[in-house]
Amino acid sequence: MDPCRLRLNCLVHGPGLRMLAVLLMLVALLLGPVPYGVTQDNRPQVLTTVAPLTNIVRNVGGPHIDLHGLIPGGTDSHTFEAAPSDVRFLATADLIVLNGLDLETSLEKLALANQKSGARLLKLGEHAITPLEYIFDRSFPKSRGHPNPHLWMNPLYAVRYAELVRDALSELDPGTQARYQERTRRYSQQLWTLDRAIAAATATIPAPHRKLLTYHDSFAYFAPRYGLTVIGAIEPSSFSEPSPRDVARVINQLRREKVPAIFGSEVFPSKVLDQIGREAGVQFIATLRDDDLPGRPGAPEHSYLGMMLENVRTMVAALGGNAAALQGIDPADLP
């Protein structure tokens, strides 16, 4: 018989089995109890919602967490309804990360009704800014009481999101705190580099063209950071198709403003913008993204940084600027 197999048989039978049990008990006493909210392989189970948030959390947690993004990229997060099969992810998560600011209202209710005892629900938006900093606009009017939730479109708010996730993971999994801190430091440096590059690129847009008209109001927190003005959005606050009166109003506005381009979204397709562009005599570009990462999963550009780089290149070129400042920025996630 093979000597290794012989030793194994001696260990797991008779006195050897009792010895193994004693050894396991000693190991458990030395290591102490497993922190609550941590899986058996010492990785916290983390649930997120929209793809950019999932990607930010992935860069902070890396291989040290078990991450699941609930809302697929390219899905309208405002109207997303969880499937019955999604409840199991909510029920087993140790940390549920939402954007908040009323973006995932129905999903938040479902999470509160199904989360396990001791699980934490983290709403990033409410911790990133104060109510005095909320922005209301056409898609998110103050009369409805829901502020514009798209904070992540400003890279500096993405830094704040990463810090909030770092702190939550460190509290949940203190043994890995130093790694969460280091990953957040490195990721924040990438985001600050992105911020400086976006500022340099948008500064090349001729001043009269620094105006954004989009289908969905996704750039409310992005535009002020980079000297751009959001002059409107097509989509009503009900998230329905715009009326003929809305279309006529926008066409007249574009003729007055004399902007060279208007922007649609891959997540919110609408033929109305194409019609508006033709009648107003401006270029219509339908490829801006706010919660859909470019490229295939696993590709370097399939990331929050990749999404922002693609958006700004598209925007700057269409408005008459030069996006050369964005060259050399690696969009890939941290390893």
Instruction: Write out pLDDT tens, residues 285-329.
Output: 988 999 999 999 999 999 999 999 999 999 999 999 999 999 999
Q: Which residues face 97 on adjacent strands? A: 122
User: In this predicted model, what pLDDT tens digit does every residue of 6-28 receive, in sequence order?
Assistant: 333 333 334 443 443 334 333 33
- The position carrying tokens 């751009």 is 228
Per domain, the residue ranges of the chain are: 1-32, 45-195, 204-326
Q: Which CATH superfamily is domain 45-195 in?
A: Nitrogenase molybdenum iron protein domain (3.40.50.1980)
HSE of 149, CA atoms in CB hemisphere, 13 A: 20
Q: Which fold has domain 204-326?
A: Rossmann fold (3.40.50)
The radius of gyration of the chain from alpha carbons, rounded to an integer in Å, stands at: 24
Integer Cα distance of 209 and 257 in angstroms: 9
**Residue at 253: amino acid letter:** Q
pLDDT digits (tens, 9 = 90+) for 120-136: 999 999 999 999 999 99
Same topology, domains 45-195 and 204-326? Answer is yes
Q: Are 48 and 27 in contact (CB under 8 A)?
A: no
Q: What share of the chain is helix, strand, coil (3-state, %, to 5)?
A: 50, 10, 40
Nearest Cα to Cα of residue 207 among 222, 225, 229, 232:
229
Q: What is the pLDDT of residue 267?
A: 65
Least confident of 78-82, 87-91, 260-264, 302-306: 78-82
